[in-house]
């Protein structure tokens, strides 16, 4: 419609630039990018200066992701209208979008000369800082860009032209980057510092930062002390206060005899003074009507620091156990009580854990009811207190020490408390969490312990309890995240997609928790869902580039200069994201798997992705692991929790697996480049036409793949076990153990042999024999891989359901490997077909009844026939799996366990049905794809 309207206008006014651009936008949005670009360039070549055309072209270029074209547009406009403030500022912003800092500096100054307004001058200064940040040479940054920026600001200071807070912030930023901390401190404490008013305690925080840089501990101490007198609940200043006290003690600092202690007033330089100060704060808050947590926690923090220094006995601050008990009595009904005390539990001796928990339980007002033997809370406050104690019990390892029977008893008790607690949340909205949700989560954690100890029924109870919890608290993200992890562990992806979607992940969460989805979708055979989940993530990563430019422009407009380097660091961090690289690689492999040589040729698919075997766009040295591995709540003791070592090992494993996948993708993308020319080639000619370099690339990538595989195998020898709620392991172990790795590597070696045959002709019997042996061993390996896919995906054992997700993963690897085998076979076909037609021509010329056919043809035809038979067998096996899954009568499973309530039985049936349905879906999708691959094999007849 828009295009039609634009055409009507253009019939009347042929040279109406704006109409042409609007038509181009319409074409761009209907997928006709080339036409849109041609039309836009036609208008841009005329160098328009009317605002409508310029704005419309800017919108179009942004949609095309070509911001560099906007700069050319406004450069031309500024030349034609040199005194336009508007066009100059648009030019500056256009440079900002593409990060042309040198040109931004010049544009800023040009703008200031036309309209001498402070913001334009400081845009230019900020552009100098950005040049210093982006400079590769740090020396150049500190000797040229930053001093020049400093001189420019000093000029304004001397002329008394500094007007806004943003300008003072910028001056401070320059001095800080030049490490002129003394001068920065003078600016903040001086007249200019009075302009720093937008943030609370902005001036004090900046002073504190400079005192720390200058190691002026007396000032640090006095300032933090003064701020704590104003607000005794500000935790950051307690930390600075303690840091500075102990620094002064270590330096044996004493105050000067006659002068002030410091610029900021009185200084505390001994432990006695610190103890007295904290006690005074506690006395002060105990009298106030609103209880504050800071001073009580500060006392525990001081004990911890003194104990660390080995001098706790001299200064009696009290027994940590008693202090924590008193803290619980004051704040136990607040949800934050557990997280506050969690930090200090290591102050308790392990022999006192049980006594401490009993002591806490005694002060909670619980009362037994007629229906239940268990004493239950009468109100929300008592419920919160009891919840805090239960969480602490788990943290202190009391539950971990129990045997199976005791754990099951605790699970029953926790669920009874959970269901009782629902009464307090009857008026809660759907978007609000129930007060007792944590009871349900803790019960599930106990059941997970039992599952890991080999209790198979426990996992079904976990899922049932979580589904029950979710029915009462539909917005509880923890329930959803835990369900996602457990369903994936069981090999059922179907319910996961819906759960993840209901989490409504926003913006950066696609990077931090997206791994929960993308790790399992494809590996469990849900190809359509895998495509969708990759699209979600990629849409976010691609829009990040455009969005961040807009944030930067807004920061310039509103003078939030200190945010600009942060935005750029954020953009760089996302561009270097491990998850981004993984999703990009897996998405391309998936697209090839689903489309190459099915709906489009392999060559077309690779061309549409702009893939090249020579190019590696993954920033290996700068990869950032942005995954949030602590997104799931955890109450495990430190020795069972995710450690820094686990994070490091997980990143190492993910990087190795990404390298293997990336090299596989690049090797596949190299197949169409080995295009066949009919004349047998000799090596001299090959070097000229550039194909030899292509095979060299393939061989080099193959060596890199071998090295990556060796590294992966060495890594797996460590037999690392991550915590159950820690990072999920990669697919690398399965890839090696089921034989896919050996198959895929052999296939790429076969490519090299076929190329050699193509180069040397059919004269070499040795090459032909080598190829024949490769074909035989490949069929054997593929058959072995198929054998590792055999077995029931879900079996009923002793009335309990057991899933075998590894069989599903093996099937997915089989499909991928057979697809690579077919792409390689197509290449073989393209090489052998011309040879065969040449032989047939010779045969006709010589009029001989039989020209001996070289053995390689027979080998290839046998290989293709065996591939076809094997694929047909796998398809039959999959049909058998479908029949078994359909016939599986879940209702006949014995849910006779008397411990299960009717409610739990209902949810257990639901989750088992979801798992069955998911496996059925996986098997269907894998079967459909294999059938398409079988059709491809049938076409391979030379």
**Segment 359-389, tens digit of pLDDT:** 999 999 888 776 667 889 989 999 999 999 9
**DSSP helix/strand/coil, 571:** helix
Q: 375-377 and 366-368 as β-strands: parallel, antiparallel, unpaired? A: antiparallel
**pLDDT tens digits, one per residue of 690-704:** 555 889 999 999 999
What's the pLDDT score for residue 371? Answer: 65
Half-sphere exposure of 869 (CA within 13 A, CB side): 9
**pLDDT tens digits, one per residue of 529-569:** 999 999 889 999 988 877 888 899 999 999 899 999 999 99
The 3-class SS string of 596-632 reads: ECCCECHHHHHHHCCCCCCCCCCCHHHCECCCCCCCC
Please provide the average confidence, as pLDDT, over all residues in the chain: 89
What's the pLDDT score for residue 688? Answer: 45
**pLDDT tens digits, one per residue of 164-220:** 999 999 999 999 999 999 999 999 999 999 988 888 888 999 999 999 999 999 999
Question: Which position has the higher pLDDT, 745 or 196?
Answer: 745
- Is residue 7 predicted with pLDDT exceeding 70? no
The 3-class SS string of 403-442 reads: CHHHHHHHHHHHHHHHHHHHHHHCCCCCCCCCCCHHHHHH
Q: Which residue has the tokens 């489309």?
A: 595
Rounded to whole angstroms, the Cα distance separating 183 from 349 reads 49
Angstrom distances, CA of residue 199 to CA of 173, 195, 203, 719: 16, 11, 8, 51
What's the pLDDT score for residue 679? Answer: 45
Instruction: Quickly state the pLDDT bin for 760 (edges 50, 70, 90).
Output: confident
- Is residue 685 predicted with pLDDT exceeding 60? no
**pLDDT tens digits, one per residue of 35-64:** 888 888 888 888 888 888 888 888 888 888
Question: Which position has the higher pLDDT, 37 or 470?
Answer: 470
Question: Which position has the higher pLDDT, 32 or 591?
Answer: 591
User: pTM surpassing 0.85?
Assistant: yes
Task: Give the burial class of 144: count Cβ atoms within 10 A of its Cβ; 0-12 exposed, 13-18 middle, 19 or more buried.
Answer: middle
**Closest Cα to residue 918, out of 796, 788, 805, 813?**
805
Question: Which position has the higher pLDDT, 322 or 545?
Answer: 322
Rounded to whole angstroms, the Cα distance separating 629 from 792 reads 33
Q: In this structure, are residues 698 and 610 in contact, taking their beta carbons and an 8 Å threshold?
A: no
What's the pLDDT score for residue 48? Answer: 85
What's the pLDDT score for residue 678? Answer: 43
- Is residue 10 predicted with pLDDT exceeding 70? no
* DSSP type of residue 643: P
Question: Which position has the higher pLDDT, 654 or 65?
Answer: 654
The answer to which of 204-208, 478-482, 895-899 has the lowest mean pLDDT is 895-899
Q: How many residues does this entry show for the chain?
A: 942
What's the pLDDT score for residue 106? Answer: 94
Backbone angles phi, psi at 55, to 5 degrees: -65, -45
**pLDDT tens digits, one per residue of 508-537:** 999 999 999 999 999 999 999 999 999 889
- What b-and-e string marks burial along 594-604, b requiring 16 or more CB atoms within 10 Å of the CB? bbbbbeeebbe
What's the pLDDT score for residue 942? Answer: 60
Angstrom distances, CA of residue 626 to CA of 416, 575, 630: 39, 11, 12
Rounded to whole angstroms, the Cα distance separating 329 from 323 reads 10
**Closest Cα to residue 614, out of 559, 688, 667?**
667
What's the pLDDT score for residue 406? Answer: 94
Rounded to whole angstroms, the Cα distance separating 580 from 661 reads 14
Instruction: Quickly state the pLDDT bin for 20 (edges 50, 70, 90).
Output: confident
Query: Taking the CB of residue 240, how many other CB atoms lie within 10 A of it?
Result: 21
Percentage of the chain lying above the pLDDT 70 cut: 93
How much is the average pLDDT of 226-232? 93
Range with the largest mean pLDDT of 152-161, 789-798, 853-862: 152-161
What's the pLDDT score for residue 900? Answer: 57
Q: Which residue has the tokens 């999703």?
A: 583
What's the pLDDT score for residue 891? Answer: 58
Instruction: Quickly state the pLDDT bin for 682 (edges 50, 70, 90).
Output: very low
- Is residue 264 predicted with pLDDT exceeding 70? yes
Angle subtended at Cα 161 by Cα 159 and Cα 165, rounded to the nearest 5 degrees: 140
Backbone angles phi, psi at 73, to 5 degrees: -60, -50
Query: Taking the CB of residue 570, how many other CB atoms lie within 10 A of it?
Result: 15
């Amino acid at each position: 419609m828009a295009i039609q309207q634009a055409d009507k206008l253009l019939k009347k006014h042929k040279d109406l630039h704006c109409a042409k651009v609007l038509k181009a936008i319409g074409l761009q949005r209907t997928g006709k990018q080339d036409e849109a670009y041609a039309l836009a360039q036609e208008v841009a070549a005329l160098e328009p200066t009317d605002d409508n055309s310029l704005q419309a072209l800017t919108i179009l270029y942004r949609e095309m992701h070509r911001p560099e074209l906007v700069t050319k547009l406004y450069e031309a406009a500024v030349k034609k209208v040199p005194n336009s403030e508007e066009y100059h500022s648009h030019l500056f912003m256009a440079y900002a979008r593409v990060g042309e800092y040198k040109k931004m500096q010049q544009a800023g100054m040009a703008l200031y000369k036309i309209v001498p307004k402070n913001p334009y001058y400081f845009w230019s200064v900020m552009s100098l800082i950005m040049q210093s940040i982006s400079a590769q040479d740090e020396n150049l940054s500190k000797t040229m860009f930053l001093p020049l920026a400093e001189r420019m600001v000093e000029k304004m200071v001397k002329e008394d032209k500094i007007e806004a807070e943003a300008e003072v912030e910028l001056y401070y930023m320059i001095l800080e980057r030049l490490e002129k901390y003394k001068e920065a401190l003078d600016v903040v404490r001086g007249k200019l510092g009075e302009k720093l008013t937008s943030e609370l305690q902005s001036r004090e925080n900046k002073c504190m930062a400079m005192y720390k840089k200058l190691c002026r501990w007396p000032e640090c101490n006095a300032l933090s002390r003064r701020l704590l007198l104003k607000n005794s609940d500000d935790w950051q200043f307690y930390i600075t206060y303690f840091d500075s006290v102990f620094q002064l003690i270590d330096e044996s600092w004493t105050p000067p005899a006659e002068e002030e202690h410091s610029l900021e007033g009185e200084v505390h330089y001994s432990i006695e003074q610190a103890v007295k100060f904290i006690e005074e704060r506690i006395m002060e808050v105990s009298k106030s009507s609103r209880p504050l947590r800071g001073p009580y926690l500060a006392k525990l923090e001081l004990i911890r620091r003194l104990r660390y220094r080995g001098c706790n006995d001299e200064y009696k601050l009290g027994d940590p156990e008693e202090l924590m008990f008193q803290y619980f009595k004051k704040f136990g009904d607040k949800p934050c009580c557990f997280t506050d005390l969690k930090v200090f539990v290591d102050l308790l001796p392990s022999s006192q854990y049980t006594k401490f928990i009993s002591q806490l339980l005694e002060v909670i007002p619980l009362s037994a009811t007629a229906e239940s033997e268990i004493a239950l809370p009468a109100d929300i406050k008592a419920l919160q207190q009891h919840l805090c104690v239960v969480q602490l019990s788990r943290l202190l390892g009391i539950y971990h020490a129990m045997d199976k029977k005791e754990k099951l008893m605790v699970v029953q008790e926790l669920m009874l408390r959970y269901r009782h607690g629902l009464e307090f949340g009857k008026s809660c909205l759907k978007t609000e969490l129930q007060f007792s949700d944590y009871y349900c989560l803790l019960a599930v954690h106990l059941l997970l312990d039992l599952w890991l100890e080999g209790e198979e029924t426990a996992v079904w109870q976990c899922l049932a309890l979580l589904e029950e919890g979710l029915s009462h608290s539909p917005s509880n993200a923890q329930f959803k995240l835990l369900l996602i992890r457990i369903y994936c562990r069981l090999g059922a992806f179907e319910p996961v997609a819906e759960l993840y979607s209901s989490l409504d992940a926003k913006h950066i969460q696609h990077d931090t928790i997206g791994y929960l989805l993308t790790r399992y979708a494809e590996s469990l055979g849900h190809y359509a869902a895998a495509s969708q989940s990759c699209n979600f993530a990629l849409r976010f990563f691609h829009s990040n580039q455009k969005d961040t430019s807009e944030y930067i422009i807004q920061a310039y407009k509103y003078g939030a200069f200190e945010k600009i380097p942060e935005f750029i660091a954020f953009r760089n961090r996302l561009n270097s994201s491990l998850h981004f690289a993984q999703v990009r690689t897996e998405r391309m492999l998936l697209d090839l798997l689903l489309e190459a040589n099915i709906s489009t040729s392999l060559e077309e698919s690779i061309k549409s992705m702009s893939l090249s075997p020579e190019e590696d766009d993954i920033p290996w040295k700068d990869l950032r692991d942005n995954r949030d591995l602590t997104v799931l709540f955890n109450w495990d003791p430190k020795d069972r929790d995710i450690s820094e070592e686990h994070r490091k090992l997980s990143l190492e494993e993910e990087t190795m697996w990404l390298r293997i996948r990336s090299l596989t993708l690049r090797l596949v993308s190299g197949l169409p480049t080995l295009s066949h020319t009919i004349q047998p080639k000799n090596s001299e000619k090959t070097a000229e036409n550039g194909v030899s370099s292509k095979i060299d690339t393939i061989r080099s990538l193959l060596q890199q793949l071998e090295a990556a595989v060796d590294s992966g195998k060495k890594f797996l020898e460590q037999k690392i076990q991550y915590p159950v709620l820690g990072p999920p392991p990669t697919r690398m172990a399965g890839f090696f153990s089921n034989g896919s790795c050996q198959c895929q590597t052999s296939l790429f070696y076969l490519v090299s042999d076929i190329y050699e045959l193509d180069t040397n002709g059919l004269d070499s019997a040795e090459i032909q024999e080598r190829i024949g042996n490769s074909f035989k061993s490949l069929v054997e390996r593929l058959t072995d891989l198929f054998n590792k896919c055999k077995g029931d995906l879900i079996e009923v054992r002793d009335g309990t359901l057991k899933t075998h997700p590894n069989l599903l993963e093996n099937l997915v690897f089989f499909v991928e490997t057979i697809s690579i085998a077919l792409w390689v076979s197509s290449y073989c076909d393209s090489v052998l077909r011309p040879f065969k037609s040449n032989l047939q021509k010779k045969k006709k010329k010589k009029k001989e009844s039989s020209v001996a056919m070289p053995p390689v043809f027979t080998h290839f035809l046998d290989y293709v026939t065996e591939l076809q038979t094997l694929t047909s067998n796998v398809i039959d096996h999959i049909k058998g799996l479908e029949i078994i899954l359909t016939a599986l009568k879940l209702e006949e499973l014995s849910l006779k366990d008397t411990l299960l309530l009717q409610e739990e039985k209902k949810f257990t049936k639901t989750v088992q049905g979801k798992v069955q349905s998911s496996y059925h879906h996986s098997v269907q999708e894998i079967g459909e794809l294999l059938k398409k691959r079988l059709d491809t094999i049938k076409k391979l007849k030379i």
